Amino acid sequence: MTPDDDCDDLGQRALVERLRALLGAACADSGEIIETHISRVLLVGELAYKLKRPVDLGFLDFSTLAARQHYATEEVRLNRRLAERLYLDVVPVTGTPAAPRLGGDENAGILDYAVRMRRFPQDALLTRQALTDGLTDALAERIAAFHAAIPEAPPDGPYGAPEQVLAPMLENFAVIRASVELDPALDADLDRLESWTRRQWVALKGVLAARRRDGFIRECHGDLHRGNIAVLDGEPLIFDCIEFSPALRWIDTQSELAFLLMDLKQAGEVRAARRLLNRWLMRSGDYAGLALLPFYLVYRALVRAKVTAIGAAQHHQGHAAPDVALRGYVRQALLDSRASSPRLVLLCGLSGSGKTYLAERLAEQVALIHVRSDVERKRLFGLPAEARGDAQLYSEQASTRTYARLLALADGLLRAGCGVLVDATFLTAARRGPFCALAERLGCPLDILALDAPPAVLRARVRARHRAGTDPSDADVAVLERQLAGREPLGAAARARAIFVDTRGVLPLEDLARLLS
């Protein structure tokens, strides 16, 4: 077969089966073939070989040998950004269809191309294990660091324009309708979601344009869901990015994150999704982008619905009945399209009172965005959260700037429909007052959680935390002593809406979560 020739999909399936038999015999492994709507992966021995199916689905075209070679090369290049240890190279499939081989004499003719990868156990996939807190945090940090490092799209380039963002969203609806037999209920749900998408796009056009202008359109992974994440030696490795469409890869980082959040929620991992979101936000600081999150959550659910529909159509060689998975993604999209009722929660207390510990856990139980003063203070000074600060970070002027930032973040998040939990000392009425006024101005519920513990307990906690040096807070005992001397008790109005929590013992987490839900 010459490079100008090509095989059809059935011919490639037979080719992969013969490769499995030949390679399996050589290493005493019967091998396994995993087939998706766009690829076939042969697992044999310690390696995996991925061939792109010779299909043209509109949004991708692997129908020619030259295209499959190009995109195989791109796949290796792009995936080494996040999973270098997995991706080895691209190898030609040579020989004859009856006796193919990997590598060999390319002059004799190339049948196809395969991406060669290191094989990992299927149980390593995130779809087969629950996210621990440590793994969730590591994944959030990895994604945020990746987003910070990848190149930005030029503001006048082809990617990220509002019209270009809308196009694949509308395509999802067209492909689903063309691939499956719609019943009245599913048809009505898709109509409802398409109308919602169009309305949201009109309302958010200005935000979309600003995101492009401000550098949030980047060369992302593009297909960030649990099935493309493996946990090896305790490290999350993200693989199988989108190589076939720059337009689906050069996207808003919020759209990228939305895919994984949607997938976690769809799998029942809501607590992990909330923790992941807050951890990513702490690292990225991209709170303004949350105005787009529901828009992208709905889009990502419908991407998965589309993929499911395409797979069903390929399996049945035509229209298929919509399956449980497709309907589940449509239901998830409907849930994410619903408007929320935001509330503002102020979590107050001296250093060492357990504010951040409680805030992190409440934000997993209730849909709240956790905004932490210690992190935002350092961001104002251009420091990462883990850096040690000096005295100027804690001057009165710096604290005033920090509280102004917290107030601005709370304002933007509440207007975007997010519940907000602000984690700061709030030692004086002057610090609390603007937040109470904001809640009143926006007409949203306000809750004050006032945390406390005996001074001896606070001192012991602050000493231990400062000694460990692993927390964004730089407060030492001297800072705590100044707080003890300068704090003001809550006024009558604040006390009437406050919940007082003694943090010496077991925290009433479930009771607090119910009160804030």
Where residue 313 falls among pLDDT bands split at 50, 70, 90? confident
Residue 129, Ramachandran bin (φ over 0: left; ψ between -120 and 50: alpha; else beta): beta
β pairing state of 235-238 and 368-372: unpaired
CATH topology of domain 344-516: Rossmann fold (3.40.50)
pLDDT tens digit sequence for 164-195: 999 999 999 999 999 888 899 999 999 999 99
Note the CATH architecture for domain 126-336: Alpha-Beta Complex (3.90)
Where residue 6 falls among pLDDT bands split at 50, 70, 90? low
Q: What percent of the chain has pLDDT over 70?
A: 97
Where residue 318 falls among pLDDT bands split at 50, 70, 90? low
Residue 188 to residue 183: CA distance in whole angstroms:
9
Residue 414, Ramachandran bin (φ over 0: left; ψ between -120 and 50: alpha; else beta): alpha
Q: DSSP E strands: which ranges in 22-141?
A: 32-35, 39-44, 47-52, 87-95, 100-102, 110-118
pLDDT tens digit sequence for 229-246: 999 998 999 999 999 999
Length of the chain: 517
pLDDT at 5 over 60: no
pLDDT at 3 over 80: no
pLDDT tens digit sequence for 380-413: 999 988 888 776 788 889 999 999 999 999 999 9
Least confident of 6-20, 193-207, 223-237, 348-362: 6-20
Helix (H) or strand (E) holding 237: strand 235-238
Q: What average pLDDT score do residues 371-375 get?
A: 96
Q: DSSP E strands: which ranges in 287-426?
A: 344-348, 368-372, 419-423
> 115 CB contacts (<8 Å, ≥6 apart)?
49, 50, 51, 72, 75, 76, 87, 89, 90
Least confident of 141-155, 309-323, 328-342, 364-378: 309-323
Query: Is the CB of residue 310 less than 8 Å from the CB of residue 57?
Result: yes
Among 48, 52, 57, which Cα is nearest to 39's?
52
Q: DSSP E strands: which ranges in 71-187?
A: 87-95, 100-102, 110-118
pLDDT at 2 over 50: no
Query: Is the CB of residue 406 less than 8 Å from the CB of residue 376?
Result: yes
Mean pLDDT over the full length of the chain: 93
pLDDT tens digit sequence for 246-299: 999 999 999 999 999 999 999 999 999 999 999 999 999 999 999 999 999 999
pLDDT at 503 over 80: yes
Whole-angstrom CA distances from 267 to 136, 217, 314 are 15, 28, 25
What's the pLDDT score for residue 390? 74
Residue type, 378: K
Among 462, 511, 245, which Cα is nearest to 356's?
462
Residue 131 to residue 411: CA distance in whole angstroms:
32
pLDDT tens digit sequence for 81-126: 999 999 999 999 999 999 999 988 777 789 999 999 999 999 999 9
Where residue 363 falls among pLDDT bands split at 50, 70, 90? very high
* Residues 97-130: b if buried by 16+ CB within 10 A, e if exposed: eeebbbeeeeeebbbbbbbbbebbeeeebbeeee
Q: What percent of the chain has pLDDT over 90?
A: 79
> 439 CB contacts (<8 Å, ≥6 apart)?
344, 414, 445, 446
Strand 47-52's sheet: what is its strand order?
A: 32-35, 39-44, 47-52, 110-118, 87-95, 100-102
Neighbours of 402 (CB within 10 A): 22
Residue 169 to residue 240: CA distance in whole angstroms:
21
pLDDT at 321 over 60: yes
Tell me the domain boundaries of the chain.
9-119, 126-336, 344-516
Strand 498-502's sheet: what is its strand order?
A: 368-372, 419-423, 344-348, 446-452, 498-502
> 245 CB contacts (<8 Å, ≥6 apart)?
59, 60, 222
